[in-house]
Structure 1
Amino acid sequence: MLALSLDMGGTHIACAVVDDEHIRASRTISSAGAASLEALLPQMEQTLRTLLQEANANASSCIGMSMGFPGIIDIRSGRIISTLKKYEDAKELNLDAWCRDAFGIPLRIENDARMALLGEKHAGAARGIDDVVMMTLGTGIGGAAMMQGRLLRGAHSQGGCLGGHFTVNWRGRKCACGNIGCAEAEASGWSLPQIIREDEGFEESSLSQAEILDFRMLFEEAQRGDALAIATRQRCLEVWAANAVSLVHAYDPEVIVMGGGVMQSGDVIVPYVQKHVQSYAWTTWGTPKVCAAELGTDAALLGAIPLLNEDLV
């Protein structure tokens, strides 16, 4: 079963021809500096046509196209409700009409974290699990939830996909969403530099010499014994673990899948979060398993087949 698949990142767009649980052909194009999503559509179309040729396939053999989008999506109407300041003209575009005109197949659009969860359920770490949540750690903290084998979407399409916006510190930092003390405000890629620079020990830390303050640098310097890096890493682990407990209490999963770029340090993160969940999550049946995502950047692309086959109700 074939499908075309798109994963709309903030600075790049991953394009692929998907064959059930496998990617036949893929390519990434840059979206950095693009004036609009509409301006990128011709390049997206040409890239997908090239990939179809590489995969020895044609559009008519595909069941449809999926698009993982970084925003709030009403999948039933195919509308992009909120772009979260990325591809802001997307709300005005008829992307299904573009897809049908270009390839003669239907398009389904879904939030990118939900797409990643579908991919992990279909072909990765959540295979065979019907009750699962996903927490993605990167520039922000994303989330998605599946209950009894169906994605949670809610009346306003926000259900389950604001997993980084549980309050973990009600006297904490202001989040980009307007709330106080969200997990994302306390321990994400965009908040990390400010958290580090505001610490009174910053000038004495090796982190003060870093050109880029990101999680890779943080974990490396913590491993080398830098005091500020160790303390900040511990803070982040505690925030992520507390957020995981909130996900358990909210959605009753059997498995928590953790993904995103920060999971390059998954050997440190997963055991810490698992121990915290075991100690503090209130469940009547046992302890949810915490595991790292298996599919990496391919997860959202591999969500195409289950999304296109989903019976929307």
Structure 2
Amino acid sequence: MAAVLGIDLGGTRLRAAWSQAPGEQPRPLGEEPAPRSAGDLGARVAAYARQLPDVPAGIGVTIPGLVDGTVCRWVPNLPYLDGVDLAALLAPAGGPQTQVVAGNDAQLALLAETTNGAASGTRDAILVAVGTGIGSAVLSQGRIARGAHGGACSFGWACADLADPGDERLGWLERQASGSALDALGATLDPPRDGPGLIAAARAGEQAALTALEPAVAALGATLAGAVALLDPEVVLLAGGVAAATDVLEPLLREQLAPRLPRHLRDVPVRAGAFGPRAGIAGALIAAHSGPTWWELRP
């Protein structure tokens, strides 16, 4: 089969890989800081495409924001992409028959987890990815929910504080429990820690770290409880950087979920995604092989 190129574009990093067949392990091409302009992105993707054995049959791209088809509608951490049509931008990286497909990073991570990961065999699942921001995606009856414009299930914008005035670029949950929020909570410790250091201290049983985590866990738990109550998933997956902290967060989250859910929903499994930081690139490659209806999983 013809090779495809996968691009996992995050708020701070870009990963590239390729594969020859659906389900094949990604073959890494490189990882680097995120581009600083749309033109820079186009040039880098073209450079990666030249490393493939042939012109790519497809290019799959994850975007940390709202994507409608191949048009970036709103990308808070990479605003230069707002309004950019990736099919046009990346055309020089392929040939006349190369198909460009794009999707929200959390949605494509869930595509990977559902196809060959921790949600394999399920038809209803929730994925929450905590990193620079908070990404989320929902599998409902075998399809990844996208909504009218590709932005369905944006849990980072869920709010459990009626007094919150809102923010132009960051949702309430992102301000409470994203990677930067965990960094801020860790900075209150003595000595100060970053987010991963806060998690490590909590894993070691340090009471100050567990106490510092409480606001973020309470916010995330309240949001997940509402999502579980609405969607009745078979599993909740933690992805992104927070996946490595599932051993710490799962019991804390379950304490938040139980009193907010009816009995028949309290036992929903909460577990780490199988792909870890590779979920986005794996999903981008699956989408590149699948084509423009990648979100409609095959039975």
**TM-score class normalised by the smaller sequence:** 0.7 to 0.9
2: CA distance between counterparts of 1:250 and 1:22? Answer: 35
Secondary structure, counterpart of 1:84 in structure 2 = coil
Selected match of 1:26 from 4, 25, 28 = 28
2:107 match = 114
2:181 match = 191
2: CA distance between counterparts of 1:93 and 1:172? Answer: 32
Match of 2:246, as an amino acid?
G
- CA shift, 1:285, in A, is 6.7
Match of 1:23, as an amino acid?
Q
Note the residue ranges of structure 2 that are not aligned, 5 or more in a row.
Answer: none
Note the residue ranges of structure 1 that are not aligned, 5 or more in a row.
Answer: none
2:5 aligned with 1:4: yes
Change (3 A) 1:66 1:132: same
Selected match of 2:62 from 62, 68, 82 = 68
Match of 1:31, as an amino acid?
P
- CA shift, 1:44, in A, is 2.1
How does the TM-score come out when normalised to structure 1? 0.81
1: CA distance between counterparts of 2:83 and 2:150? Answer: 18
- CA shift, 1:292, in A, is 0.6
1:40 match = 41
Q: Tell me, yes or no, if the aligned pair for 2:99 and 2:291 is still in contact at 8 Å.
A: no
- CA shift, 1:68, in A, is 0.3
Selected match of 1:235 from 215, 218, 233 = 215
Mapping of 1:203-242 within 5 angstroms?
A: 205-206=189-190, 209-210=191-192, 213-223=193-203, 226-242=206-222
Selected match of 1:280 from 253, 260, 270 = 260
Mapping of 1:97-136 within 5 angstroms?
A: 97-104=88-95, 105-136=98-129
Q: Tell me, yes or no, if the aligned pair for 1:259 and 1:293 is still in contact at 8 Å.
A: yes
Q: Tell me, yes or no, if the aligned pair for 1:277 and 1:287 is still in contact at 8 Å.
A: no
- CA shift, 1:139, in A, is 2.5
1: CA distance between counterparts of 2:204 and 2:264? Answer: 41
User: Which structure would you say has the larger Rg?
Assistant: 1
How does the TM-score come out when normalised to structure 2? 0.84
2:149 match = 156
- CA shift, 1:258, in A, is 0.6
2:259 aligned with 1:294: no
% identity of equivalent residues: 26
1: CA distance between counterparts of 2:9 and 2:240? Answer: 15
Let me know the Cα RMSD of the aligned residues: 2.7
Q: Tell me, yes or no, if the aligned pair for 2:186 and 2:198 is still in contact at 8 Å.
A: no
Match of 1:67, as an amino acid?
V
Q: Tell me, yes or no, if the aligned pair for 1:134 and 1:145 is still in contact at 8 Å.
A: yes
